[in-house]
Amino acid sequence: MIKIKAKDVDVFYGKKQALFNISLDIEENQVTALIGPSGCGKSTFLRCLNRMNDVIDICSVKGEILINDFNINDKSCDVVRLREKIGMVFQKPNPFPKTLYENVSYGPTIHGMAQSKQEMDEIVETSLKKAALWEEVKDRLHEPGTGLSGGQQQRLCIARAISVRPEVILMDEPCSALDPIATAQIEELIDELKKEHTIIIVTHSMAQAARVSQNTGFFHLGQLIEHGSTDKIFKNPDNKKTQDYITGRFG
Amino acid sequence: MNLILFTFIVLLGFTSYYFGRKKAYTIQSTKKRLTALPQFYGYYLAIWCAIPAFIIFSLWAIFEPTIVKLLILSDYSNQGYLDDELNLLYEKSKALSRGQFTGEITPFIEASAEKYLSLRSIAQSSKVVIVLSAIIASVAYAYKRISSNSRTREPVEKFLNAVLFTASLAAILTTVGIVFSLIFQTIDFFKVIPLFDFVFGTHWYPAKAFVRDSSEALDPTMYSDTFGAVPIFAGTFFIAFIAMCVAIPIGLMSGIYLAEYASTKVRQYAKPLIEILAGIPTVVYGFFAALTVGPFLKELGTSMGLEVSAESALAAGGVMGIMIIPFISSLSDDVITSVPQSLRDGSYAMGATKSETIKRVIFPAALPGIVGSILLGVSRAIGETMIVVMASGLAANLTLNPLESTSTITAQIVVILIGDQAFGDPKTQAAFALGMSLFLVTLCLNIVALRVVKKYREKYE
C-alpha cells in the first residue's frame, strides 16, 4: 500500500533550487531510508513531508505531496492536524527543558487527546514503553528530560513523537549523535515501530540503511537518482552513481 | 614641562623598541635562531624604558610636595609658630607664587614664595635629569644583555598581564573606595540619628535640618521625626512598581514579537528604533514627564472629576517605565533568540502553533533570562533620579495614591546635596545613608539577576 506519494516536488531556498522534480512513493508500514552525500537534499525532502519547511522564511515548495491521497501542499491543509499525523525525530535529541512526563504529554495536551489525568498517564506510559524507555525512567518521570543520556534523550523524543499516535514518523539522522550501543537500541526500536507506523529515515550510514530499511532512495545534488527495494539498491543498482556511492567511491 | 618630558619618554620608548628589534634582526642575520620573534626584543627594551620612568615619576609625585614643604618650613622652625599657623604660611606662600594670593603680603611670605619657586624649579630639573639618565642606563643595560638566547617573550607577557591586572584592580579599588566613603559617613549619620528612627520613622522632612545655624551646637533631639525614611523607601518602590507595570508587559511583548514573529526586515528596523529609546538622556525623559505627561494626566483627571497633582507618581513612574522598555525588550529578545532552534522545531513538529510553542516551550526555557532582564530593569528603576526629581515632586508623602506626588531615595539625595553643604552635618550625612541603602538594594538585585542569568546560561552550554 502506498502511504505517501510525492509528485514533481521542487524546493527553493530563495532563488537557489534545492530539490529537482522529486517523485517518490512511500510504502505503508515499511521503513524507507533516504541516503546520499551531505547537502544532497534528503533532509529537505523529509521536511517537506510534514511542512516543516514552512518555518524557514525563504523556503518554498512546489509540486504535490499526497498523504492518504490528500495533497498536503494544498491551501486547505491544516498544518496542525498534518503534524499530528506525521511525527518527527531530529538529528540531535531535543527534549524540552521540562520533566520527562511533560515532554511526552506535550503532544496529547496540545491536541486535546486526553480527557483526564488517568488517560494522560496511560498515554505517557504506553508511549514510553513503545519507545523502550519506560523501564529506565518510570521512577523519575518528574525529573527534567535534559538530564538523560544522549540515547535515552533520543528515545524520549521518539516517545514524544509517537505519543499522538502518528501514522508516519520522519527521522532525520536520528542516530548521528549517538554511540553504537544507543544506535543499536534505536534501530531495534525502529524495527518494532514499523508495525504500527510508516517510517522514513534519513541516514548517513549506509550500513544503517541496509539494516533497518525495506526501501531506499538515493539522492544526489537535489535529485532522486534511484529508488527501490533496499536489497536491489544495495546489491544491484541500476544507476552507476548509486553503485559508486554504495561502494564508497564518493560521498 | 611635564608634558614635554612625558612625550620625550614615549619617544624614548619607541626608540628603544626600534633598537631592540634591530638588534634582534642583527642577531638573526648571523644565522642564529632567536628564542622569540624580533618584536618581543623591541617590546622588552620598551618595558625597560617604561618601568624606571614610572617608578621615578610616582616617587616624585609622592615625596616632592612633602620635601619642599619641609625645606620651606625649616626657615620658621624655632620661631614659636604653631603647626596650624605654619600650614597657613605655607599655603599662603604657595598661593603667592602662583599669583593667586589676595591678602596682605608680608616680607616673610614673599621670601617663602620665592624659595618655593626656586625649590620647585630645582625639583623639576633634577626630575628630568634623573628620569632620563635612569631610562638611558636601564635601556642600555638591557640592550647589552639581550642575545640570541635571552628570554624576552616571558617578561613581555608578564608585563602585559600586570598592566591588564592593574586596570581591573583600578576599577575594583574605585568601587571599594566609594563603598567605604559611604560606610563611614553612614556610620557618622547613625551616631546622631538612631538607626531605628531612620528605618521605621514615617516622617521625612530634611528641610527642618536646613534651618539650623551651623554655629549652634548639635542637638540630636532636634532631629527626631526628621529623618524617617519609610515614606521615601515606599515612594521609591511605589514608583519603581508603576514603572515595571508599564515596562514589563510592553517590553516583554515587544521582545517576543521581535524574536519570534517579526520578519527579518521588520526586525532589522524595529530593533534599532526601540534601542533609540535607551539612548535618550534621562533628563529629556524627565521634562517629558514633567511638562507633557504630568499636565496631561492632571487635565485628564480633572475632566473625570479626579484630583490629580501635576507632579504625580503616575507620571514619573509611567515615563520611567517607557525608559526601561528597551532594556527589557532587548534583553528578552536576546534570551528568546538564544533558545535553540531545535526546541522550536521539536514543538512545531508536534503540531504546536507558534503561540503554543512560545507559551509552553520557549517562554519556560527563556524564563530565567527574562527574570534576569526584569531584575536589571527594576534596579534601574530604583536608581533612576532625573525623571523623579523633575516629575514626581520633592515632598516625601507617605501615600499609595498614584495621583499624588511622592518622592524617592534618589530625588531626596539630590534635594539634600543641591546648593551649599556642610560636611559632618546630619543633613549631608543623611544623603550618604540614603546612598548606602540604595546601593545595598541595587546590589542585592544585581546579584540575584546575575545569578539567575548565569544559571540560565549553564543550561544550554
A201 to chain B nearest CA, in Å? Answer: 15
Task: At A89, give phi and psi (nearest 5°).
Answer: -120, 135
Q: Which residue in B346, B351, B364 is closest to A94 by CB distance?
A: B346
Judgement on whether residues B232 and B349 belong to the same structural domain of the protein: yes
Q: Which residue in B263, B349, B364 is closest to A57 by CB distance?
A: B263
DSSP state of A106: H
Distance between CA atoms of A23 and A20, rounded to whole angstroms?
Answer: 9
- Domain count of the fold of chain B: 2
How far, in Å, are B1, B252, B416, B439 from residue B282 at the CA level?
A: 41, 21, 20, 20
Distance between CA atoms of A100 and A21, rounded to whole angstroms?
Answer: 41
Judgement on whether residues B423 and B314 belong to the same structural domain of the protein: yes
Q: Does an H or E element contain A207, and which?
A: helix A206-212
Q: Which residues of A touch B264 (CB under 8 A)?
A: 57
Q: Does an H or E element contain B328, and which?
A: helix B313-337
Is residue B163 in some structural domain?
A: no
A106, A113, A156: best to mutate for the B interface, most B CBs within 10 A:
A106
Is residue B161 in some structural domain?
A: no
Is residue B289 in some structural domain?
A: yes
Helix, strand, coil percentages (3-state) for chain B, rounded to 5, are 75, 0, 20
DSSP state of B33: P
Laid out side by side, the sheet with A70-71 consists of: A16-27, A2-13, A59-67, A70-71
**Complex confidence, ipTM:** 0.91
Single out the residue of A188, A172, A4, A187 nearest to residue A82, CA to CA.
Answer: A4
User: By the CB < 8 Å criterion, does A51 face chain B?
Assistant: no
Distance between CA atoms of B380 and A242, rounded to whole angstroms?
Answer: 64
Is residue B178 in some structural domain?
A: no
Is residue B186 in some structural domain?
A: no
Per-residue pLDDT of chain B (461 residues; tens, 9 = 90+): 678 888 988 999 999 999 989 888 888 888 888 888 888 889 999 999 999 999 998 898 889 888 888 888 777 776 777 777 778 878 888 888 777 777 777 777 778 888 888 888 888 888 889 999 999 999 999 888 888 778 888 889 999 999 999 999 999 999 999 999 889 888 888 888 888 888 888 888 776 665 555 555 556 566 667 788 888 889 899 999 999 999 999 999 999 999 999 988 898 898 889 888 888 998 999 989 889 888 888 888 888 888 888 788 899 999 999 999 999 999 899 989 989 999 999 999 999 999 999 999 998 888 888 888 898 899 889 988 888 888 887 777 787 888 888 888 888 888 888 877 666 677 788 888 889 999 998 889 888 888 877 776 655 54
Q: Which residue in B340, B345, B351 is closest to A80 by CB distance?
A: B351
Last residue of a domain, one of B114, B133, B151: B151
A84 to chain B nearest CA, in Å? Answer: 5
Is residue B175 in some structural domain?
A: no
Judgement on whether residues B239 and B388 belong to the same structural domain of the protein: yes
Whichever domain contains B398, its CATH number is 1.10.3720.10
Is residue B385 in some structural domain?
A: yes
How far, in Å, are B175, B181, B391 from residue B379 at the CA level?
A: 18, 22, 19
Give me the domains of chain A, ranges plus CATH numbers: 2-246 (3.40.50.300)
Q: Tell me the whole-structure pTM to 2 decimals.
A: 0.76
DSSP bridge pairs for A12: A17, A60
Is residue B117 in some structural domain?
A: yes
Last residue of a domain, one of B151, B178, B193: B151
Distance between CA atoms of B382 and B95, rounded to whole angstroms?
Answer: 45
Contact B43, B152 (CB under 8 A): yes
Last residue of a domain, one of B132, B151, B170: B151
How far, in Å, are A208, A214, A236 from residue A232 at the CA level?
A: 16, 10, 5
Provide the residue range defining the domain that includes B87: 2-151
B348 to chain A nearest CA, in Å? Answer: 8
- Greatest alpha-carbon pair distance for chain A in Å reads 57
How far, in Å, are B85, B94, B108 from residue B114 at the CA level?
A: 19, 9, 10
